[in-house]
Structure 1
Amino acid sequence: MRKTISILVSMVLGMTLLAGCASPKENKKEEIKEAVKKVNIVAPDGLPSIAIAQLAKENPEIKNGYDLIYTVEKSPESLSTTVMKQEADIAIVPSNMAAIAYNKTSNYKIAGTVGMGSFYLVSTDNISEIKDLEGKEVGNTGKGLTPDITVQSVLKANEVDLSSLKFNYVNSASELVPLLATEKISTGFVPEPALTALMIKNPNMKIVKSLNDAWKEANKTENGYPQSTVIVKADFADENKEFVDSFLGQLSNSIEWANKNSKEAGEYAKEIGVSTEPKIIEKSMERSNLKFILAKDMIEDYNNYFKKLFDYDIKTVGGKLPDEKIYLSE
């Protein structure tokens, strides 16, 4: 009996020692698991998602201890909801949404621009400059929204009599393209990559002017107007400065790669959920105007852009002009 008890005691002690040896390893694994920080990154379907295509597809390590989750939002409404609920740590949004997010949440800041204006004035009529639009019917998207406001600002700067124009508004570029392709209307402002699809369907369509170039000329600016903006949660940026700086550097590299490797960019974009066909993306990259510029180098351009939107309708920037704290400091 004593021998049996002795054996049982030895077994219990042995199991305890084994458990003691395994425990630190398990705890260490658990600590490592808990140490990984998940980062939610969202972008809208279209050009902004092409900017992150290489990052989302190849998912390189930005900084040890961070797990990046990329999401392509299929509609402006879903993108807005995600941002306003502060579910995104980093997001690429239309630039006016950056102002709205700052004013409404006080917790998103502009880190940089990922795309300048990608809209173009196109026509099958005898039009060679913006001034020639007087008396014409012109197709455009989003009445009272930022594409419309930007167009009207440029038209005013070129002294076009707006009352002489008949604007034909549709909700999206996908609705505008068929009208221009079948020449139900002959003139309009179309963004890439929808423009490339249009020119394939209607080879007679010619590009009259880049809206971004027209903005440059009207506002005496080097870059044009910021169409797409990368925003970062302020508290996330404060707590993860090294990661954010590294991510922005990689984002810049991703955009540079997309511009140099348009075919691969189209293929990558499809794989991450962008709805535009890869061949259209490939052909559109030359005019897409994807470019990364840090916020600190775009402050004057943003302030000017926001002021024009504000003067047209205060709701377009969230009810008030954002102050200088909207820009992510170094």
Structure 2
Amino acid sequence: MKKIISTILLIALGSISLIGCSQNAITNNKKSNSDKLAIVNKEVMISAPDGLPAIAISKLAKEKPIIKDGYEVTYSVEATSESLSTTVMKEEPDIAIVPSNMAAIAYNKTSSYKIAGTVGMGSFYLVSTEDINDFNELVGKKVGNTGKSLTPDITVQTVLKEKGINVDDIDFNYVNSASELVPLLVTDKLNTAFVPEPALSALMEKNKDIKIIKSLNDGWKEVANSKQGYPQSTIIIKSDFAENNQEFVEAFLGQLSNSIDWANDSTNNAGEYAKEIGVTTDPNIINKSMERANLKFISVKDMIEDYNSYYQKLYNFDPKTVGGTLPDEGIYLVEE
């Protein structure tokens, strides 16, 4: 009888042990599944065009710091303005750095993006090998510029007109890009032009006679009564993404500001970082251009008046430059 009882007890204890192991296995399995779920990060796509805007994010794109736990960020550098425009109009990036007029077009055409801030003020400069001291001395001269009827041209013409200069008395020579402008100034086919950074630094390396006459951004400050000048590059964020990921957006903008400060302070490294993320400009030229690149992060709340003025002037020139309609206050990503 004792043997029977002992046997029953052993069986019972074995069963309890097995149940315990089974329960532990289930618990561990649940924990394992829970851990797997926890490491599935939310994907965030950030795009910028080749050039100064990409330099603004170069530290972030190369070092890939964690902006906020639970998010995986992918950075892309678009080779052309056309490819950048296409990806934005398809609403692919959650965050993008774009020309400021493209921010208005994206808002008017998609209703999906809002302006979070500026990452670069005007970086165009009037340069010449001739004895010129100001904009009014361009009358009667042949002057190079990029993008006829596009924002560089509109900005130049607006400043000149506001200063009472008849632009019809200036012989503008237009090319598609700054890279096409540089050889003309190097070979003296042109003596005077409006040239942006970093192309300006490349030009000054090749033609030691080139002198900087005046910053177009300074000219804009004078005619628009602006403290900062005109917003050349703008950071836009999808409205729904910003609303549903406020902590990430706030953290990212802080990191972006730090990245820009780093690029301005680390002129020996900025070029190499930019090269590693796909910027095509020579690293040494980038390093030399930082002094005049005018990269800076300014929150949209401190730029609304400047944007309104800028968009009004673009709209007055040609409504199509801002998407056909002057953008309303809803374009700005500000706390209500």
Once the two structures are superposed, residues 156-183 of structure 1 have per-residue CA deviations (whole angstroms, 9 ceiling, x without a partner) of 1222221111111000000011001111
Q: Aligned pairs, how many? A: 322
1:171 aligns with 2:176: yes
Distance across 2 between alignment mates of 1:200 and 1:275? 17
Contact kept, 8 Å, 2:121 with 2:228, in 1: the verdict is yes
Distance across 2 between alignment mates of 1:147 and 1:314? 15
Contact kept, 8 Å, 2:60 with 2:259, in 1: the verdict is yes
RMSD: 1.7
Contact kept, 8 Å, 2:122 with 2:294, in 1: the verdict is yes
> Which residue identity is paired with 1:30?
K
Percent sequence identity is 66
Hey, what does 2:26 align to over in structure 1? 20
Contact kept, 8 Å, 2:39 with 2:70, in 1: the verdict is no
Distance across 1 between alignment mates of 2:74 and 2:126? 37
Distance across 1 between alignment mates of 2:310 and 2:87? 24
Distance across 2 between alignment mates of 1:16 and 1:180? 80
* Residue pairs, 1:174-193, within 5 angstroms: 174-193=179-198
Distance across 2 between alignment mates of 1:161 and 1:28? 70
1:29 aligns with 2:58: no
> Which residue identity is paired with 1:102?
Y
Distance across 1 between alignment mates of 2:66 and 2:39? 16
Instruction: Give the unaligned 5+ runs of structure 2.
Output: 1-10
Hey, what does 1:323 align to over in structure 2? 328
1:49 aligns with 2:54: yes
Instruction: Give the unaligned 5+ runs of structure 1.
Output: 1-5
Distance across 1 between alignment mates of 2:304 and 2:123? 20
> Which residue identity is paired with 2:42?
K
Report the alpha carbon displacement of residue 26 of structure 1 after superposing the two structures with TM.
2.8
* Residue pairs, 1:95-110, within 5 angstroms: 95-110=100-115
Distance across 1 between alignment mates of 2:87 and 2:32? 36
> Which residue identity is paired with 1:293?
I
Equivalent position to 2:99, from 94, 97, 101: 94
Equivalent position to 1:309, from 293, 307, 314: 314
Report the alpha carbon displacement of residue 30 of structure 1 after superposing the two structures with TM.
2.4
* Residue pairs, 1:50-129, within 5 angstroms: 50-129=55-134
Hey, what does 1:276 align to over in structure 2? 281
1:264 aligns with 2:269: yes
Report the alpha carbon displacement of residue 13 of structure 1 after superposing the two structures with TM.
8.0
Equivalent position to 1:300, from 299, 305, 309: 305
Equivalent position to 1:229, from 214, 234, 239: 234
Report the alpha carbon displacement of residue 14 of structure 1 after superposing the two structures with TM.
9.7
Hey, what does 2:7 align to over in structure 1? none
Equivalent position to 2:147, from 142, 149, 167: 142
Report the alpha carbon displacement of residue 19 of structure 1 after superposing the two structures with TM.
5.2
> Which residue identity is paired with 1:283?
K
Report the alpha carbon displacement of residue 329 of structure 1 after superposing the two structures with TM.
1.2
> Which residue identity is paired with 2:29?
S
Report the alpha carbon displacement of residue 59 of structure 1 after superposing the two structures with TM.
1.2
Equivalent position to 1:240, from 245, 256, 274: 245
Hey, what does 2:254 align to over in structure 1? 249
Distance across 1 between alignment mates of 2:27 and 2:159? 72
State the TM-score, normalized to the length of structure 2.
0.92
User: Runs ≥4 in structure 1, deviation > 3 angstroms?
Assistant: 12-19
Once the two structures are superposed, residues 239-283 of structure 1 have per-residue CA deviations (whole angstroms, 9 ceiling, x without a partner) of 001110111111111111110111111111011111011100000
